[in-house]
Amino acid sequence: MTSHAPEYFINRELGQLAFNRRVLAQAADRSNPLLERLKFLCIVSSNLDEFFEVRVAGLKEQIALNATATGPDGMSARQVFRQVTEQAHQLVDEQYQLLNEVILPELARHDIRFLRRTHWHEAQAEWIRNFFFDELMPVLSPIGLDPSHPFPRVLNKSLNFAVELEGKDAFGRASGAAIVQAPRSLPRVIRMPSEIAGCEYGFVFLSSIIHAHVGELFSGMHVKGCYQFRVTRNSDLFVDEEEVKNLREALQGELPQRNFGNAVRLEVADNCSPEMTGFLMGQFGLDQKDLYQVNGPVNLVRLMQIPDGVDRPDLKYPPFIPGIPPAVSKQPDMFQAIRNGDILLHHPYQSFNPVVDFIQQAAMDPSVLAIKQTIYRTGTDSALMAALIKAVQSGKEVTVVLELLARFDEEANINWAERLENAGAHVVYGVVGYKTHAKMLLVVRREEDGLRRYVHLGTGNYHPRTAKLYTDFGLFTCDEKIGSDVNDVFLQLTGMGKAGKLTHLLQSPFTLHSKMMAAIQTEAANARAGKKAFIVAKMNALLEPQIISELYEASMAGVKIDLIVRGVCALRPGIAGVSENIRVRSVIGRFLEHSRIFHFCNDGAPTVYLSSADWMQRNFFRRVEVCFPVLDAKLKKRVIREGLAPYLKDNSHAWEMDSEGDFLRKKPRGKATSAQLQLLQELSLPLK
């Protein structure tokens, strides 16, 4: 394998910021419904929160350690941090400009207003005053800063107010400053009664109410200024898996510390005085490059509640009913339906309910002996988990491989682990050092001709809510060899022993990387031999340098390569003599593109794989993943027809990467085509 120069690789962190620019473009796109545009704006903030908590925090740790190692792009942590800081500030400025100059005025034209305190009339001010004394004052605890009251511990991403004071209190103290922390139980946006607001939907920011009445918390003193602020902290959990005896107990002890990791970003109101800004930066050990002064609420994520609380269907995406494949709708008995032939589900265009029905039927079926399932993310309220508990209670052997280290879902998974164990299920936490990210469900059933294995494999999580928002494929099969492969993977995860040879499944960390490399090399060899050769792959991220180098080699051999990468892509397409035959595109639309599909020409005998794994180092080498072939010829064509072809034709929500690594939005020439809209029309059911 040939390695390529650093200039042929794009930096991961900069690629993530570029992805968020594409999301922000959806908020600016007037063809999207207005309240959905507000959601996209909020998603950018949510993404940036995690970006700072994990990626920027990691860069800061490397800089503190004087690490000199570089990635494939050749950039040091200091170089990356410098560029990330510059671009992140630009992105945040653009985000607030869009909010203040476009989104909020357009919402106001539709009678959805955010009432600023400088414009409250007498009745509004009176209502807000009553709200402050009735709902806020009893739960607020101001902390004056003096030798007896040091600067408080500020929770990660919490809303706080820095208050500048003049005068002395009842004890003769004159600290000059105080901190007011807003409890997380308080709503960040409050709806005012329409008859007082003067519009159908009138909202007031919690920060505006506290600003207006903060003086009530400091009787007899003069408030010189009140400024909202928010600090983002390093949220990576440190658990030495080699040392701990009980991973769950170790995590339970570590989770509260996530709120108090090292500070990495400070957000303050743009009217915050230089003195207070400097004081806050000093308290958190940050400097000017870590400071984000914003013209508006410091946490836009909380505006995500607005679309849900506003009954304006005309300002939202039209609703739809997910379709049900005929194989299921005509045969409600899931076991019989699967025996009739493999079943492919394409979410969210098709319903996730058959997966829930399958587990619920298995839980109550007296012929079912055992159920085994992997869980990475499933949510706090899951019908799937409830069905597994019922299965245990009805005498089934239930084994759950539950990944406790699924970032930001650790607490929910710990709670499910306890509930499942209390019910009598076998709960294991996978393999030390390897996150279990595979999406597998195995049901063993006694039938007339003996035991039969029924399997569900997916590209996405067993999470009913996100199955309505993420695009994913799921496959039901009772193929003997696939069932045997899945059983072998479960044996690896729950027991101990050497990894055996699997018939159909490719698995990380053992065979997936080498098999993908071999498949790319085969296409290159076929192209050199004058045979038809192509690769079409869809994933969330493409970062693994060896895979990228092989794709470059294949391109130079003449292989046509189409890559549909939603997020970060470290490969540069269109470089003369290197990647001229590679096209990279990203589709950002109503749904989060999440499916992983790998399609190889294979000398006229095309192979199509679905997988839980992106082409990243962690997925290949530090996780347990499965990649499975679609064996049924009709379903294979369906995956190509639904999962790949529309995305290569999309000219409404697609962005194409140029050789500099910049993404340019496609513009319709003639008829506009949208992959997601096309699939909704083809696969969902008409509203009644």
Select from 127, 278, 304, 158 the least CA-distant residue to 228: 158
* CA pair distance 262, 326, nearest whole angstrom: 54
Cis peptide before 6 (omega within 30 of 0): no
Please state whether 385 falls in left (phi above 0), alpha (psi between -120 and 50) or beta. alpha
SS3 state at 4: coil
- Per DSSP, what are the bridge partners of residue 656? 585, 664
User: Considering just the CA atoms, what is the radius of gyration of the chain in Å?
Assistant: 27
Select from 41, 49, 44 the least CA-distant residue to 232: 49
Select from 223, 255, 260, 220 the least CA-distant residue to 239: 255
Instruction: List phi, psi (to 5°) of 8.
Output: -90, 5
- The distance from CA 416 to its chain's CA centroid, rounded to whole angstroms, is 21
Q: Report the DSSP pairing between strands 450-458 and 440-447.
A: antiparallel
Instruction: List phi, psi (to 5°) of 601.
Output: -60, -45
- Per DSSP, what are the bridge partners of residue 585? 564, 656
Yes or no: say if 460 and 467 are a contact pair by the CB < 8 Å rule. yes
Which residue is catalytic, options 213, 346, 437, 504?
Answer: 437
Helices (H) and strands (E) in the chain, counts: 23, 27
Q: Report the DSSP pairing between strands 663-665 and 654-657.
A: antiparallel
Cis peptide before 509 (omega within 30 of 0): yes
User: What angle (nearest 5°) sits at the alpha carbon of residue 225, between those of residues 224 and 226?
Assistant: 145
Yes or no: say if 564 and 585 are a contact pair by the CB < 8 Å rule. yes
- Residues 6 or more apart from 63 whose CB is under 8 A from it? 77, 78, 81
* CA pair distance 106, 108, nearest whole angstrom: 5
Q: Is 504 a known active-site residue?
A: no
- Between the alpha carbon of residue 396 and those of residues 415, 441, 445, 489, 562, the distances in Å are 21, 15, 10, 20, 46
- Between the alpha carbon of residue 605 and those of residues 43, 502, 523, 524, 636, the distances in Å are 41, 21, 12, 15, 12
* CA pair distance 344, 355, nearest whole angstrom: 11
Q: Amino acid identity of 5?
A: A
| Residues identified as active-site | 437
